[in-house]
Amino acid sequence: LGKGEELIEFVKDRPGHDRRYAVDWSRIKQELGYQPQCGLDEYLKRT
């Protein structure tokens, strides 16, 4: 994105680092009226 790699700082993983996240769409649906039309894998293929 036009930024040099010198701006990237690699750090060690923190203890208890979260290895996986699961999205709960219920709040997004309730507050914004949004509901995904397909799964994450399909959205990733489209990008």
And the tokens for 41?
């894998």
**Residue 34: partners with Cβ closer than 8 Å, 6 or more residues away:** 25, 28
The C-alpha atoms of residue 47 and residue 44 are separated, in whole angstroms, by 5
CA distance 35 to 47: 19
Per-residue model confidence as pLDDT tens for the chain (47 residues) = 666 777 788 888 777 776 777 778 888 899 999 888 888 889 899 98
Report CA 19 to chain centroid distance, whole Å.
12
> What confidence score (pLDDT) does residue 35 get?
86
